[in-house]
Structure 1
Amino acid sequence: MTPWPQTLAAAAALGAGAVAAYALFWPRSTLLGPLVAHGPPDQPRIALTFDDGPWPGATDTVLSVLASFRVPAAFFVIGRYAQRHPALVRRAFDEGHLIGNHTFDHHRTGMFRARDYWNSQISRTQDVIRLITGQTPALFRPPMGFKSPITAQAARRHACRVVTWSWRGFDGSATTPDAIIARARRCVPGDILLLHDGRDPASRRPIGATQAALPGLIESLLARGLQFERLDHLIARIS
């Protein structure tokens, strides 16, 4: 039989690990720093956001769909992609969408990096977006929703508010348009929706499902009486 002290120590270690994982990766966790993951739940408004762009053939299709429905969105762009495809960022900005910071490289191992890395990732992307749009982003979304005191400090240093999400289409992995639309049934007032108009550098997944799902997704949410509002306007309503 395992002695009680060892059992208690093992249970404590497991509990500490679970708390750490929750704090680091759960998008609504504020244990490691302030963030916004949801708008006011008592108003029928939601915000649509896209990560990992700009991506030719995807971002431009998304923009055309949004224009046809007159739906605003926020695009959290990867800095090196924005540097490579500035016209797509400029188009999104000119069409009234919000441009946010999603780091310069979106390295999946970035969570293990130190303060200088995070300061550089945010700063370089701020510079790229400012050069393209003439405005400096005020919102930052960490890759994969990863949070730590270091990322929170880096965001504050660049006057960025950390924003995650409360609903996701799970289009960051292989999926189908029907599956994305079906998940919209779980969307509720105040939700910040996460979709992707590109893919991170380490991914090889196909990216067509999001564009194909977007018209049906928007129609289904509008039919439920939900109104799309630009992300910064939605979170400005938080009391």
Structure 2
Amino acid sequence: MVPPVAIDIDGTMTTPDGGIDPQLFQALQDWPEPVVVATGKAFPYPVALCEFLGLPTRVVAENGGVACTEDSLAILGNGEAARNAVSEFESEGHDIQRGENDLHNRWRETEVSVATSVAFSTLSEFAEKHGQTVVDTGYSYHVKSPELSKADGLAYVAEELGRKPDDFVAVGDSENDTEMFRACKHSFAVSNADAAAEAAADEVTDASFAAGTTEALETLR
């Protein structure tokens, strides 16, 4: 019997160019157990992904800050401290380099996304002053609470589905997946994963990006 799965987006469902890889569409649509999309992206992005793929809305967003199923929604984090840290960072003459429209943060509720071109150590100093941490996903720096992770969001979704986190198998590529890996009964890091994800995973796929996720799903069937 195949398990329910929790799958990251960036670097895990995507091609090296950043788009969602169509090779995953049918596999996810046909998966007989729950599929949870678990990402650092702001809440609307994974919800839209589920809708366009025809999947039930089972989402962990903002690194565990927001979680939902078809029938429930929980804001598990509070973004005030992260926003205060970034506001002070900017008031000291620094720029988070997200542009005027800032679509990365416009709908973000529990953390702040900062471009990876910003000095990590400087940003971390401001975050720590406000009790926050900075997580580098390889795509963004996330200023967030150190007390929340994707594992917390998955715990919420799993309970809503009548499951437990350790019923799930996780697939991811970054340090923000490590807590989720440890919470699940088994985990795969795709071969493009960072060192933290590789160290935390039970297995590392031979293939990278979405091809690695396809490999993991085929292993589970």
Same fold flag (TM > 0.5)? no
More strand by proportion, 1 or 2?
2
Q: Which has the larger radius of gyration?
A: 1
**TM interval, short-chain normalised:** 0.3 to 0.5
Structure with the largest fraction of helix: 1
Q: Which has the higher contact order (CA 8 A, sep 6+)?
A: 1
